[in-house]
Structure 1
Amino acid sequence: MAKALALPPPSDRATPKEGSLRWLLTLGLLTLLSAAIGGGFGLVMVSGIQKQVEEKYKALPKKPEIVSPYTGDIAIKKLAPVVTNLTGSESDWVRLEASIVYKANAEQNPDVIAAETRQDVLAYIRTLSLAQIQGPSGLLHLREDLNERVRLRSKGTIQELVLETLIVQ
């Protein structure tokens, strides 16, 4: 015959309420323990990675400072507005306002340089048509042409012609 399982007397057995409470306490304790271990491991990893990044950043070569093309003794002078019509049309007019950036220690008088530059810009603009200055590329070409022309005429005294406004009507 088969033997029956012997159960402990009823006073020694844990009640179902006490068993589930022990299970929940064990589960809560393990959860807190794993959260503490995971958090500690995360902090150690983050600090190690941060130290490595800082070391690599310090080892990088320093970027050179941006050097301005405008060094030395320079000044800026506003030119009088240039108003003229365009080639091939009596109804298309241009108004150009500009300034020159020049070497201040030059032997020439800045007012004379500005007047000569204005006259040269006027003579150049009168040779342009509306199609040549339309759009962004037309404006870029106009700016480059004027800068090249001004530098050549001033023999390097003027460093740049800065276009402030260009109105075509």
Structure 2
Amino acid sequence: MLRALVSFALATLIAAGLGVGATRLPGFGAPKPAAENAAAKVETHAKADAHGKADAHGKNDGHAKAGEKSAAKTPPPTTVEGVLALPPIVGPLRAPAHVWVRFEGVVVVDEIEATRAKTLTAEIADDTLVYLSTLALPELEGPAGLKAVQEDLLERARIRSDGKVREVLIQTLVTQ
């Protein structure tokens, strides 16, 4: 029993180290928001008392004359690529009934819209909770058990994301 517990703890620490290490790789970091580039530009604007004067604004300043429709451009949708953190997940295992599991992890995704990324992480977290509640404690033991859990979670995440998820990294998996 003690040997199995030590093996499980060691596998968890290795997986957590790999998860943290993967976030340090080039291309796996958090993306820079598009608003960062827009905030760097300084916008010149006419004073309040100068509105309506011919020389107060430039030619294409976005102000429409009376009766004209404004040709406002919609900004492109912001996208996310890289590592998305899943919220911590706590739930019971199937067997033994008194054992609970805490899961923390991240998913590595291809480019997706930012709003979709938020809903996707919530959906993957929900799927993970449901999946973990179907497991028995012996299925989590050892490196082979941990790898099987990771592969099952990756398969579920890829189905949920229409193939946008590249990897599921387990940072923490603790039972009590």
TM-score calculated relative to the size of structure 1: 0.54
Which residue of structure 2 aligns with residue 158 of structure 1?
165
Q: Aligned partners of 1:90 and 1:118: how far apart in 2? A: 21
Matches within 5 A, 1:94-133: 94-106=101-113, 109-133=116-140
Would you identify which runs of 4 or more consecutive aligned residues in structure 1 move more than 3 Å?
105-108
| TM-aligned CA distance change 1:139 to 1:88, over 3 Å | same
Kept in 1, the 8 Å contact 2:27–2:82? The answer is: no
Which residue of structure 2 aligns with residue 87 of structure 1?
94
Q: Does residue 145 in structure 1 map to residue 156 in structure 2?
A: no
In the alignment, structure 2 segments of 5+ residues that lack a partner are 1-25, 29-79
Q: Aligned partners of 2:108 and 2:98: how far apart in 1? A: 32
Cα-to-partner distance string for 1:43-86 (whole Å, 9 max, x where unaligned): xxxxxxxxxxxxxxxxxxxxxxxxx997xx72211111110110
More helix by share: 1
Q: Aligned partners of 1:80 and 1:107: how far apart in 2? A: 16
Count of matched residue pairs: 100
User: Higher Cα Rg: structure 1 or 2?
Assistant: 1
Q: Residue type of the partner of 1:163?
A: I
SS of the aligned residue for 1:165 comes to strand
Deviation at 1:100, TM superposition (A): 1.1
Kept in 2, the 8 Å contact 1:106–1:157? The answer is: no
RMSD: 2.1
Identity of aligned residues (%): 34
| TM-aligned CA distance change 1:83 to 1:107, over 3 Å | closer
Q: Aligned partners of 2:153 and 2:112: how far apart in 1? A: 23
Q: Aligned partners of 1:112 and 1:83: how far apart in 2? A: 19
Q: Aligned partners of 1:128 and 1:69: how far apart in 2? A: 34
Structure with the bigger RCO (C-alpha within 8 Å, sep 6+) is 2
